[in-house]
Amino acid sequence: MKRLINKIKALTMDEIDLRNEIIRLKKRASVYREENQMLKVKVRKLSSQMFKKDKEIEALLNPKQISNFRKVFSERSVAIISQLREENENLEKQLNEKNSIIKKLQDNLKIAKCYTSSEALNKKNKFNRNSDLRKEKLQLILNLKEKDPVSNCFTPDDQQTLIEMSEPNSAKDESKGETCRIKNSSPESDLDRTELFYPRNNKHEEINYLEDHFLDLLTEVDYLKNTISIIQSEQLKTKHVLENKEDNIEKLVEEIEYLKLIKNPKIQNSRNSVGSAKSHIRSKKEKQEILKKLYGSSIKHKKDFMPKFIIIKEVSSNTENKSTETSEKETSNKQNEEKQSDNKEEDSEAETY
């Protein structure tokens, strides 16, 4: 009986273990099924992408659709170039506006500095004059003290202490002196009056005026030197900006020429057979024509942005270049005729193709 009971217990334990293993295997199977479904979805997406790419490759290989593709590509390139042009013009306008604002602020600053500098110089000159007069008065007082040893008044020996004592009370002394003169009814001699109103070693008014005028002239000269240096630095900055813009324009012209050559490679081969010298001449003249047509507005902005004396130089150079422009016009007409003939050949080749 005991053996049977033990066998039954062993069987029940084995059944429980088997059930647990079955549950685990079912869970794993469900996980694998989900992963399999995800992989199937990815395979479907990849197959659809491959199918689309195959269609695109077939469309590119078809000769009928190649011309359409070229047209679309050229239209997109032209749109991109026009957007770049508009952005460049907007940036130039913003730059000119900011430069005008900066110049206005600088002019206001310069005017304010001129007024404040003149006022400060006048104040300094007045202070220096008053200090010289006070020193002369104090020296007279000290000389009188040396001559008269007995005196009831308190006068310090040092000159600095006298200056410190006399500076705060100078205005009061002047006002008191004027009131005392009005009150005193006793007549005074001409010498006494001159000594009261004018010190002994005082300069003439015209000399003082000339000194002040000379100092003002020196300040104006320094100010003009500073303005000249500032203007020269601004001119250098504008030159660098214009050079960078010209480089960008040349790059855009080269891109346009490259796109033209991509459109018609047969014409490129025919031109290479004619000669390298003619191709160089045409490329230069085409650049000039494109600059005149496409970037005429930007060049006008640049001329407005340049200073006046540079514009005068350009006018003189333009008068000299009028004779050369006539010859360039004749060559441009010949080039236009050649281009028209080339375009006709391209159209005929496209139709035959």
| 253 vs 290: CA distance, rounded Å | 7
Cα Rg, the chain, nearest whole Å: 49
191 lies in some domain? no
* Model pLDDT, residue 57: 82
Total domains in the chain come to 1
- Three-state SS for 198? coil
Which 8-state DSSP code applies to residue 48? H
* Model pLDDT, residue 32: 92
Find the range with the poorest average confidence among 11-15, 36-40, 57-61.
11-15
Q: How far is CA 95 from CA 88, 109, 304, 328, in A?
A: 10, 21, 12, 34
Question: Does pLDDT of 93 surpass 60?
Answer: yes
Q: Tell me how far the alpha carbon of residue 195 is from its chain's centroid.
A: 65
Of 271, 254, 289, 240, the C-alpha closest to 338 is 271
Of 161, 139, 163, 141, the C-alpha closest to 153 is 141
Question: Does pLDDT of 74 surpass 70?
Answer: yes
Q: Look over the chain and give the mean of its residue pLDDT values, rounded to a whole number.
A: 67
| 104 vs 110: CA distance, rounded Å | 10
- In total, the chain counts a number of residues equal to 353
Which single residue is written with the structure tokens 């730059």? 95
Question: Does pLDDT of 182 surpass 60?
Answer: no
Tokens linked to 205 = 């008014």
Q: What band does 79 get if pLDDT is binned at 50, 70 and 90? A: confident
Find the range with the poorest average confidence among 5-9, 105-109, 210-214.
5-9
266 lies in some domain? yes
Higher pLDDT, 324 or 342: 342
Higher pLDDT, 246 or 150: 246
15 lies in some domain? no
The alpha carbon dihedral of 205, 209, 214, 215 has a sign of: positive
219 lies in some domain? yes
Q: What band does 18 get if pLDDT is binned at 50, 70 and 90? A: confident
Q: pLDDT digit string (tens) for 273-302? A: 444 444 444 455 555 565 555 555 444 444
* Model pLDDT, residue 307: 42
* Model pLDDT, residue 181: 45
Residue type, 19: R
152 lies in some domain? yes
Tokens linked to 342 = 């080339």
Phi (first) and psi of residue 245, to 5 degrees: -65, -40
Question: Does pLDDT of 40 surpass 80?
Answer: yes
Q: pLDDT digit string (tens) for 295-334? A: 554 444 444 444 444 443 444 445 445 545 555 666 666 6
Residue range of the domain that includes 257: 63-173+211-317
* Model pLDDT, residue 106: 82
| 217 vs 225: CA distance, rounded Å | 12
Q: pLDDT digit string (tens) for 233-242? A: 888 888 888 8
37 lies in some domain? no
90 lies in some domain? yes
CB atoms within 10 A of CB 170: 13
| 48 vs 57: CA distance, rounded Å | 14
* Model pLDDT, residue 42: 93
346 lies in some domain? no
